[in-house]
Amino acid sequence: MAVIPCFLALTVLFGAPFAIFARAAPQDPLTALIGAAFMWTPGLAALATCRLFGRRVATLPWRWPRARYAWLGYAIPVAYLLAAYPLLWATGLAPANLAGFDAGARAAFGLGEGTATLVAILLVATAGVVRAAANALGEEIGWRGLLVPALADRLSFWGVALVNGMIWFVWHLPSILLADYNAGAPVAVTLACFGVGTIAMGGIAAWLSLRARSLWPAVLLHASHNAFTELLFDRMTVVNPRSAYWATEFGIGLNATTVVALLLLCWLGGVPRTAADRRRDG
């Protein structure tokens, strides 16, 4: 278990300068680069931990998984986003901005009405996910590459999902409390919704990682979530003080469907057995 405290301590040590810098200049154009560097601190901490404990980096779960797990990682965020946003649009809890999105796409691509939106969706689904994966990999080497297997040596799946998700949530707190990583809802609402959603999404990532014995499905899950949420669905939605309670990854809607996705995944796909379970069963 000494591996876990070392990894967490190094993650805090590596991440602290970026959190402080983001607080000092939250609106600076370089903030995006700060955020990208911050996302790589868990991965760097994991690699450093391996070095300190004499463990070969190659022992992390690098292998490419079976296709079904890769596709699940890609598709699950699309499913829970489609379960949340059209309902928010239809009920008016978070009004749709489809015309505004299409106008922006037409201006960007010089294409006709409707066609520009289709091109934007295709670009997000391909290049957008690939770009998001470059940052997500930095986190997932740490969270699901090192931390989840280490927790699975001691805990059953739900313990792994809860502890891993809570640590992941706490890691985001400086960005929420010190910088501008939120959608404008009251802090208490933001923390409650984002906390529940992060733990649920972390549970899905842990499920995929343990089933596939690979960190790559979690990378695809993380990248797909970020790309489709930030580049597509949020931009198709009017985010104002009222809708901020419901939309974005800090609102009730998306985080509720993420919880449902985790429960359905465990119901339909079963709960993964961990190394700790196998030891207890002899």
pLDDT value of position 21: 67
Angstrom distances, CA of residue 45 to CA of 38, 92, 102, 133: 11, 43, 42, 18
pLDDT value of position 81: 98
pLDDT value of position 30: 63
User: pLDDT tens string for the chain (282 positions)?
Assistant: 599 999 999 999 999 887 766 555 555 566 677 778 889 999 999 999 999 999 999 999 999 999 999 999 999 999 999 999 999 999 999 999 999 999 999 999 888 888 999 999 999 999 999 999 999 999 999 999 999 999 999 999 999 999 999 999 999 988 888 777 776 778 899 899 999 999 999 999 999 999 999 999 999 999 999 999 999 999 999 988 889 999 999 999 999 999 999 999 999 999 999 999 888 886
Residue 161: enclosing H or E segment and its boundaries? helix 157-177
Residues sharing a CB contact under 8 Å with residue 54, sequence separation 6 or more, in sequence order: none
CA–CA gap between residue 162 and residue 42 (Å, rounded): 18
- Count CB atoms within 10 A of the CB of residue 53: 11
Picking from 128, 250, 270, 249, the residue whose alpha carbon sits closest to that of residue 189 is 250
- Could you give phi then psi for residue 30, rounded to 5 degrees? -80, -5
Helix axes 41-52, 129-140, angle to 10 degrees: 40
